[in-house]
Amino acid sequence: MIIDCHGHFTTAPPQVAAWRERQIAAIGSPADAPDPDALVVTDDDLREAVGANQLRFMDERGIDLTVFSPRASFMAHHLGDLAVSAAWARVCNDLVHRVAALYPDRFATGAMLPQSPGVDPATCLPELRRAVEELGAVSVNLNPDPSGGRWTAPPLTDRSWYPLYEALTAYDVPAMIHVSTSCNPAFHTTGAHYLNADTTAFMQLVQGDLFADFPTLRLVIPHGGGAVPYHWGRFRGLAQALGRPDPVTLLDNVSFDTCVYHQPGIDLLTRVIPSRAVLFASEMIGAVRGVDPDTGHHFDDTRRYVEATPHLTDADLEAVRYGNALRVHPRLAARLTARPSAAGL
């Protein structure tokens, strides 16, 4: 089995973006905000949106199931206030839940949180509870920079985040540390801001003691961990200089995904980071959608790279393909175990 732990609904029907545009236009004038119930998306709309896109590529690449969450760049927590973010999160989470309900063997719900700059993270708890208890979410995306590139939020180790961590550990649900759109023109959203955030989040964890307080909390840092695996010696040296434990100790709680779009990158990732801390992912259909002219294959066809990595044993590959995903996402594991076809796992 192959589980892709990182997919987004980037192909949502066009009326979703139109509704969002109306919502953004009404910022500052709540009476003009569109009603979420006025957004009409049929099941056929959803089937069309994923059938010719995510499902087609999953079938072509042999990916069995994707943890599917709202489009990351559209979370845009920096727009509007908490009420705007709450309404948008509800709309987006309901849509990915409906996709997962239409294709329960192919998608599992990953939820976004209604974060807002300068607002207590505890305000996300009602939507987190709804996502897990009512929508069956197996993971959430946690934005370490709701300000959209201004980095006004405290580090992830700050106690202001603790109510979220308490809920995540109580539900036994992991968080993927994933930023959204950059509103700073100096930082391209997917080419700079995403990778900067992955690196920044890990360094914050190096500097803090988060897992002493939450020993069972599980975090996934996407996009191969940003710069982390490629500068592992730097992080080890900085930890030493700061009197912190070796960063390898973080890997009991932190995993990196395989959204790295060339063979040498995957080779280095899987050589530096122990296989127990690597989750298969492609972020398909995502930031990089083209075909590599050097190989003739899509850049984001990451299964090809993972399986061509020479130093992973059969046991390592099994862990990366699906074993680690099931350990990190126990609610997904429980759901799959309950399936009639579970004997094939």
Task: Catalogue the active-site residues.
Answer: 283
Which residue in 325, 331, 279 sits closest to 303, CA to CA? Answer: 279
Residue type at position 332: L
The token pair that represents 102 in the structure block:
């239409």
**DSSP per-residue string spanning 30-75:** GGGSPPGGG----HHHHHHHHHTTHHHHHHHHT--EEEEEE-GGGT
Q: CB-based contacts of 166: which residues, under 8 Å, 6+ apart?
A: 214
Q: Point out which residues pair with 139 in neighbouring strands.
A: 110
Strand, helix or coil for residue 115 = coil
Q: Phi and psi dihedrals of 252, rounded to 5?
A: -75, -20
Tokens 């500068």 label which residue? Answer: 231
Query: What is the Cα–Cα distance from 301 to 296, expressed in whole angstroms?
Result: 11
Strand, helix or coil for residue 165 = helix
Please give the helix or strand (H or E) that residue 18 lies within, else none.
Answer: helix 14-25
Q: Phi and psi dihedrals of 257, rounded to 5?
A: -100, 175
Return the exposure string of 207-220: e unless at least 16 CB atoms fall within 10 Å of the residue's CB, then b.
eeebbeebeebbbb
Angle, helices 125-133 vs 82-102, to 10°: value is 10
The token pair that represents 125 in the structure block:
């708890």
Which residue in 161, 150, 171 sits closest to 205, CA to CA? Answer: 161
Query: What is the Cα–Cα distance from 218 to 199, expressed in whole angstroms?
Result: 17
Q: CB-based contacts of 170: which residues, under 8 Å, 6+ apart?
A: none
Query: What is the Cα–Cα distance from 133 to 66, expressed in whole angstroms?
Result: 20
